[in-house]
Chains A and B, each alone.
Chain A
Amino acid sequence: MKTFKLGGVHPPENKLSAQAAIEKIAIPKQVSVPIGQHLGAPATAVVKKGDEVKVGQLLAKATGFISANIHSPVSGKVFKIDNVYDSSGYRKPSIIIKVEGDEWVDTIDRSPEIDGNIKLSAKEITDKINEMGVVGLGGATFPSFVKLMVPEGKKVDFLVINGVECEPYLTSDHRVMLERGEEMLIGVSILMKGLKTNKALIGVENNKPDAIEDLRKLAQKFKGIEIHPLKVQYPQGGEKQLIQALTGREVPSGKLPLEVGCVVNNVGTALAVYEAVQKNKPLFERVVTVTGKSVKKPSNFLTRIGTPVKELIEAAQGLPDDTGKIINGGPMMGKALISTDIPVVKGTSGILIMPEKESKRNDTSNCIRCAKCVQVCPMGLEPVLLSKTSKLEMFEKVENERVMDCIECGSCSYTCPANIPLLDYIRYGKNKVGQILRERSKK
């Protein structure tokens, strides 16, 4: 069975919510919608205090090329535009809306029928996706329309669809593939049309046999879509790893997947693309997994953007008593939240509630040069060297050791027998080197 070649780990999967069907969660009384939910420049608010908004109405307009529109997830009145804590741990400008009813914008097609007839041209598809504010839902939240704008002279051989969900605990993509498989596949066809390619490869890890079987059946109706089961290995969901697993091609250091004729999108993004293009529905809701070993009812919720995390936890029958950390995302790459008032954003794939016992860091000891971190690094880096040089602030060395290639998957920290927080140091070094590179490019 296929997988990527270099490194990787296999943490316990703990997919507790895999059998929990997607549930619609009640709309909260108040939502706060951050204007910077995507990679790139934050959007510019186009509403002001006191404005009446409907579901799907434009709240903030994209600023610059790499940016995305933000639409209202609820109907009601704009209460204020203020700084609110978001998952970055800082207070960021957000649009706070008091909810009144649930009135949708007329242009959204709310009928349940699945519409497989793609009418728009490639150019129109790109514009539509841009207009509807679709961003990559795998976690990086890169504006999706940018990926569709293939520069001249480049040809896309494969559209790679990421249904891997290699993070332990998370199941939102799994449920999307199971329950919204057909719509998702139409989304894939739309993306294929937009990219002018006739081959799409969907990679699914073989711990989701039901999804593989379902999608294989459905894919017979679609031209050029192949489903590939992959061996379970973290971080297979990284785009470079996935491309290697599915096509055997290797993306060169510092280059985009387009260099080897591939474009990668997540299954959640494919579904959002379907809804945007066929149903005219902006991206204002997404599936979020709420899970954890002590959580009474691990679930997958279809939730509006801007819903406070505490509402989701409440819907999963409350915060367990032994909670140590609430993590936005999975246990490997996720980041602890500093408050349960933080809203769900486009990039929130899951909320993991970790018991106190598990969330504690173990005591560190000295590095014994066992090179386990080097073995597991999927990018072929030397985490021990990177973390040491970052710690000593030797940023030139850090840069030469290709720190910018690090995908921050956390395999090194996970595997370190001395419990050294390797990734913490590497992230610090990467951050600093990023600053240095930006300053250099300015000159």
Chain B
Amino acid sequence: MNEVIIYTVGSLGALAIVAAVILYFVAQKFKVFEDPRIDDVEEALPSANCGGCGYAGCRAFAEAIVKSGTLEGFNCPVGGADIMTDVGKVMGLEAAIAEPQIAVVRCNGTVKNSPAKVKYDGISSCAAAATIFSGEGGCSFGCLGLGDCEESCDFDAIHVNPKTMIPEVTSNCVACNACVIACPKDIIELRNVGKKERRIFVSCVNEEKGAPAKKNCDVACIGCSKCFNVCPFDAIEMKNNRAYIDYEKCKLCRKCVVVCPTEAIHEINFPLKKLKTEVKKEIPKKEMETIKVDITANLETKTTERTKDEKPGESPKEKTIKETPSDNNDDKA
């Protein structure tokens, strides 16, 4: 009886040893070298797999970093600076810290501002609705309010407000870019979170001329160029009948917010608004100048040159203004 047990154990043991030896050599022969840093980098990443970095997931992102050997151009929007520093430690590199960003909804065509002229009763999808009509309020560029952005969000960070029918971004936003892609009207944009989370942006993407834009929506950007003229930092660009504030150049001085005749320029997280006239008075010239001096040091040569010439009025800016009205005249003719 004992013999049976001994033979069985012995033969199986021998088989196991032979198999182990074969497996060992096969494993050696077909070994795929994988950089151990990939695992380490992946570990450091937040495992959200949101695709915000532009790669298929955290693993793909880690592979790309290790493969390229640098951190330049790589940024995990979810993790932000902390995570990228950790990744930098694993890689033994200095992480270039990107400014944290957040999604911004550039439309304020609420139920009140842009009242519905027609009623849509089709399927609840912005992408589908955008193929058949311009929008209930009549604006061809505005938010449809059917919530494709909300659906695309993995972080519970954007919700369509049922009262206004305009999506609102919460602080959960990690700037993964999903809603930007989902929006068929290109309304959502990623912008720098800004100092003290303060942001100024033009909350309108309308490219129509003033009259039709205003007809459809009370708070549309009418392309009047007032903000463009008032901006001391050359941060505002006029294109296709609308203003766009470059968040890299904007110094949050709020001058544009005050002059906008349609209240299309929004400010977020600023202390309570003072009355228009007060604000104008309360920014003393001296203070403005000091700010200017501070900034020119960091700005590109172009701007510095202009301050040297001391002709800020006759910059390329004015040229563009001259062009814009003549364009309009052509169109009218």
A residues neighboring B (CB under 8 Å) = 48-50, 80-81, 83, 85, 88-91, 335-336, 338-339, 360-361, 421, 424-425, 427-428, 431-432
Contacts and interface: CB of A to CB of B under 8 A. Distances in A.
Interface in B107-143: 117-118, 121-123, 125, 127-128, 131-134, 138, 140
A335 B120 CA distance: 12
A339 B117 CA distance: 9
B5 interface: no
Given A83-B212, A91-B208, A427 B128 contact: yes
A80 B123 contact: no
B128 A90 contact: no
B311 interface: no
A360 B212 CA distance: 30
B178 to A, nearest CB: 13
A49 B123 contact: no
A428 to B, nearest CB: 4
B208 A428 contact: no
Contacts of B125: 428
B133 A361 contact: no
A86 to B, nearest CB: 11
Contacts of A50: 333
B285 interface: no
A336 B127 CA distance: 18
B132 A425 contact: no
Contacts of B123: 421, 424-425, 428
A431 B128 CA distance: 9
Interface of B: 117-118, 121-123, 125, 127-128, 131-134, 138, 140, 208, 212, 331-333
26 contacts: A48-B333, A49-B333, A80-B332, A81-B331, A83-B208, A88-B132, A89-B133, A90-B133, A90-B140, A91-B140, A335-B132, A336-B118, A338-B117, A338-B118, A338-B133, A338-B134, A338-B138, A361-B121, A424-B122, A424-B123, A425-B123, A427-B128, A428-B123, A428-B125, A428-B128, A432-B127
A421 B125 CA distance: 12
A338 B138 CA distance: 9
B111 to A, nearest CB: 17
A188 to B, nearest CB: 35
Nearest to B128: A428
Contacts of A361: 121
Contacts of B132: 88-89, 335
**9 interchain residue pairs of minimum CB distance:** A89-B133, A428-B128, A424-B123, A338-B118, A90-B134, A49-B333, A431-B131, A90-B140, A361-B121
Contacts of A432: 127
A91 B140 CA distance: 7
B121 A428 contact: no
A231 to B, nearest CB: 32
B302 to A, nearest CB: 36
Given A425-B123, A428-B131, A431-B131, A91 B212 contact: yes
Contacts of A91: 134, 140, 208, 212
Contacts of A335: 132
A252 to B, nearest CB: 28
Contacts of A83: 208, 212
B331 to A, nearest CB: 8
A49 B332 contact: yes
A424 B125 CA distance: 10
User: Main secondary structure on chain A at its contact with chain B?
Assistant: mixed
A339 B134 CA distance: 12
A421 B117 contact: no
A89 B121 contact: no
A427 B131 contact: yes
Contacts of A90: 133-134, 140
B213 to A, nearest CB: 11
A335 B118 CA distance: 13
A299 B331 CA distance: 39
Contacts of A48: 333
A89 B208 contact: no
A49 B127 CA distance: 36
Nearest to A359: B121
Contacts of A339: 117-118
Contacts of A421: 122-123
A338 B133 CA distance: 8
B133 A428 contact: no
A89 B127 CA distance: 14
A89 B332 contact: no
A80 B138 CA distance: 21
A424 B128 contact: yes
Contacts of A81: 331
A18 to B, nearest CB: 30
Given A49-B333, A428-B127, A89 B122 contact: no
Contacts of B122: 421, 424
A439 to B, nearest CB: 15
A265 B208 CA distance: 39
B159 to A, nearest CB: 21
A339 B333 CA distance: 27
Contacts of B212: 83, 91
Nearest to A393: B127
Given A81-B331, A338-B133, 10 more contacts: A83-B212, A90-B140, A338-B134, A360-B121, A361-B121, A427-B128, A428-B123, A431-B128, A431-B131, A432-B127
Nearest to A387: B123
A90 B133 CA distance: 6
A234 to B, nearest CB: 21
A89 B134 contact: yes
A421 B121 CA distance: 11
Contacts of A336: 118
Contacts of B333: 48-50
A335 B121 CA distance: 12
A6 to B, nearest CB: 26
Nearest to B133: A89
A23 B333 CA distance: 37
Contacts of B134: 85, 89-91, 338
Contacts of B118: 336, 338-339
B103 to A, nearest CB: 20
Nearest to B216: A91
Nearest to A48: B333
A336 B122 CA distance: 11
A431 B184 CA distance: 13
Contacts of B121: 360-361
